[in-house]
Amino acid sequence: MGLTRPGEPLAGLPDDFVIHRFDVPKPPEPSEEGQDLPAEVLRQLGTHLDAFESMTCYEMRLSVELLMDTGRRPEEICRLELNCLTRDGQGKPVLLYNNWKEQRIGRQLPIHEPTAKLIIAQQKRVRARFPDRTPSKLVLLPTQNLNLRGERSIDSNHLSATHREWVESLPDFVLDDGTVFDKEKIFPYAYRHSFAQRHADAGVAIDVLAELMDHDSYETTRSYYRVKEVRLREAVERVRKMQFDRQGKRIWGTVTTVLDAERTRRAIGAVVVPFGTCSEPTNVAAGGGACPLRFRCVGCDHFSTDVSYLPDLRTYLDDLLRQREKLKSMAEADDWARAEATPSDEEITRIRALIQRVTDDVETLTEAERAEIQKAAATVRQMRQNFLGMPRIRQPLPDLRVERPA
């Protein structure tokens, strides 16, 4: 091309100078923060998949289900080979795919059994449609047009355009807090962000999530943890606006400055106890393991709680009632031992009153405010999971697969 001649852009370089495409630095990954879809939106999309299939074909519908389940890029799903499913050493299903963006071929992703069943059913459909073709030549999601040999996949651009038409045809997506979600934020790549964010919110380690997402850099993966931290702070702020002392009286005050140093505050001024927060100096110094009242928290002015502890308080009350009835019938114990171990009527009454006071305050909120508080409380409880050495209630594992109708 003569570009190394005098006056040309590459003047001064030898004539045999060449640039390969691998010499060109990769552009930075676009920011992925906050691009995931709320669980309410995913649930609503799942209920309208039949409408999407009626607009296009079954392969298009299945591609959306696989996008939701696996978090792969649209092109990676659209171009899956027919033999894309295998099993690991424990018999668990594994998806075989190609990372076309980074040109990494033969990647593996552990998937759930319901997703594997979708793939197996589709493999049978493709084999029935192209019975004379070698399976290694076939694709999992063959297009319906001009595809006599079964080698042409559905197109990711066509999927994106059809997906947009489908989303626009659906009713408004109303979140639990009553707000309407912007439909412009619902596009095929958003399912990948949702997959990653659900795992980050569930506490999956960053190195594991980076491998699941097949990221080159931890910096891309770390963006999902930044979103988790922001949402957690927002949840803590909402919950702590409904904080109560041991008498059940509402504690008012600003918490903005506290939120920015939540971990420090807990470390130096208070500790988490089974049903709230304790600021008693001896107990704080011992990290929560030296309560002078032996964790009779509702009898101490150093104790405070909030709405996120309501399930724990109810479980504790049930435990006290069961323990009292059991001790009444325990004839083999001395009277003094039985009396010492029996929960007092005063504690039971105080716990009941505290639960009632918190519940009554929640009931004064509007329906939208209650939904917001309940969602925030669930987020805070998930954060608190396994923080104490003696958890009172079992926290459910997050559902990483969005269930949809068969």
Residue pair 59/154 in contact by the 8 Å Cβ criterion: yes
Q: Three-state SS for 179? A: coil
Report pLDDT for 396. Answer: 37
> What's domain 39-216's superfamily in CATH?
Intergrase catalytic core (1.10.443.10)
Model pLDDT for residues 277-336, shown as the tens digit of each residue: 888 888 777 767 778 877 788 888 888 888 888 888 888 889 889 888 888 888 778 888
Model pLDDT for residues 65-111, shown as the tens digit of each residue: 999 999 999 999 999 999 999 999 889 999 999 999 888 999 999 99
What is d(CA 193, CA 77) in angstroms, rounded to the nearest whole number?
15
What is the pTM (predicted TM-score) of this model? 0.61
Model pLDDT for residues 259-289, shown as the tens digit of each residue: 444 444 444 456 777 788 888 888 777 767 7
Give domain limits for the chain: 39-216, 241-384
Contacts of residue 184, defined as CB under 8 A and 6 or more positions apart, other chains included, come to none
Token representation of residue 342 = 């029996």
* Matching residue, tokens 């922001």: 230
Percentage of residues of the chain with pLDDT beyond 70: 81
Average pLDDT score over the chain = 81
Report pLDDT for 257. Answer: 40
What is d(CA 44, CA 35) in angstroms, rounded to the nearest whole number?
17
User: At residue 304, what are phi and psi to the nearest 5 degrees?
Assistant: -145, 160
Residue pair 38/174 in contact by the 8 Å Cβ criterion: no
